[in-house]
Structure 1
Amino acid sequence: MKALLFICHGTRLAKGRMEAEEFVRLCMAQVDVPIKEICFLELAEPSIAQGFERCIQKGATSISVIPVFLLSANHIKIDIPKELQHLQNKFPGVDVNYGRAFGVHGAISHLLWEKITKSRVNLRKNTQILLVGRGSTDQDVKRDLEAIASNVQNHYGIPSIQACFLTGSEPSFEKALWSSSESYEQVIVVPYLLFSGLLINGMKHTITRYQQQTAQNVALCDTLGYHPILKDVLLTRINETLETKKYAFS
């Protein structure tokens, strides 16, 4: 019997967990698979092991694992595959297919443009847009977010957009924000984060400190949240994984 196991990152904030679960359940409703479970990599329960075992308890003989992550970093490439390998060793009779993160998908440009236009800031040549990712020591994350920023700029003719990061990659969000004060009159900050959490709270504190020391206008967009475009991208990744004929963790 087939099962889908969705892995979200997890957060200590109840609001963030609820947002993630609501988004995944909306996608679940459009997939005809008998067993569907949600779990978290860290900071929330059920854990990956708990979610995996719930699938087995319900009769799963084949589990398609869907990482609900925007970009492929060490969590996707190392942490989750390591846990899945351990679980498959524990349950050798279960087939496991591992899907892909959202990644660089053309449709996401339209979602980001929507976030930018909803910031209620009039775009001018002296407007800087900062696309802010979580960040990672994995250089693929830097490359992919820069590609997404480039896609938005090319599609909508944005004068200036820069990818920056909260941790692990350069330039940092704080450095990019301060650099913008030298050449731009206003900044639009677009968090490339799925849901609410401690990271977005930290960004708000950084912006507050920055505005206390400069006269620059800074608009912070909402996180990506549930959106029909993201739902469609996730459904694409689900269908890809369900069509996989053999176990693969990469």
Structure 2
Amino acid sequence: MPPVRGIVFFAHGSRDPRWSLPIAAVADVLQQQCPDALSTCAYLELTEPDLPTACQHLIHQGCTAITVLPMFLGTGRHARHDLPVLVEALRQQHPAVSFEVATAVGEDPRVTQLLAQIAMQYIA
């Protein structure tokens, strides 16, 4: 039986509740384009839910393979140090579930191209 896949959009978090709106918007677009997708958002700090809570939500929906997609422009300290520690704890807590950490979205060449296109409107 193939794994039931889910994705967590993982971001830093902020005290400002409006800060998370763009992250939620990405999750909403995914749901619109793939209505059967199992996805949620999670935050490192200052915003809920945290990563363990978000993953528990997906596991309760039947996920057996979870990809954590860092919504960072680059792979900084949080992606290099904090996130691997959190994911390793999840692996220990849920040994029947596979966890994968994707590359930070900002390091995807498609995002780089899109950001450059956005910038071009200000110089053209």
Q: Same fold (TM over 0.5)?
A: yes
Report the equivalent of 1:23.
Answer: 26
Q: Is the counterpart of residue 4 in structure 1 residue 16 in structure 2?
A: no
Percent sequence identity is 22
Report the equivalent of 2:51.
Answer: 48
- Partner of residue 121 from structure 2, selected from 117, 121, 126: 117
- Aligned CA distance change for structure 1 residues 87 and 116 (closer, same or farther; 3 Å): same
Report the equivalent of 2:82.
Answer: 79
Q: For 1:73-152, what aligned pairs fall within 5 Å after superposition?
A: 73-102=76-105, 103=107, 105=109, 108-115=112-119, 117-118=121-122
Secondary structure of the structure 2 residue equivalent to 1:65: strand
- Aligned CA distance change for structure 1 residues 115 and 52 (closer, same or farther; 3 Å): same
Choose between structure 1 and 2 for higher RCO, CA contacts under 8 A separated by at least 6 residues.
2
Letter in 2 for 1:11: S
Q: How many residues align?
A: 120
Q: Distance in 2 between matches of 1:91 and 1:106?
A: 33
Q: Distance in 1 between matches of 2:111 and 2:93?
A: 39
Could you tell me which runs of 5 or more consecutive residues in structure 1 were left unpaired when the two chains were aligned: 124-250
- Aligned CA distance change for structure 1 residues 77 and 32 (closer, same or farther; 3 Å): farther
- Aligned CA distance change for structure 1 residues 25 and 116 (closer, same or farther; 3 Å): same
Q: Distance in 1 between matches of 2:64 and 2:111?
A: 34
Report the equivalent of 1:66.
Answer: 69
Q: Distance in 2 between matches of 1:54 and 1:33?
A: 15
- Aligned CA distance change for structure 1 residues 62 and 32 (closer, same or farther; 3 Å): farther
Q: Distance in 2 between matches of 1:113 and 1:10?
A: 27
Spell out, residue by residue over 1:179-204, the C-alpha distance to the aligned partner (whole angstroms, 9 max, x if none): xxxxxxxxxxxxxxxxxxxxxxxxxx
Letter in 2 for 1:90: Q
Secondary structure of the structure 1 residue equivalent to 2:67: strand
Q: Distance in 2 between matches of 1:39 and 1:104?
A: 20
Letter in 1 for 2:22: E
Spell out, residue by residue over 1:59-97, the C-alpha distance to the aligned partner (whole angstroms, 9 max, x if none): 111111111111111111111110010011011111111
Spell out, residue by residue over 1:138-190, the C-alpha distance to the aligned partner (whole angstroms, 9 max, x if none): xxxxxxxxxxxxxxxxxxxxxxxxxxxxxxxxxxxxxxxxxxxxxxxxxxxxx
RMSD: 2.2
- Which structure has the larger Rg over C-alpha atoms? 1
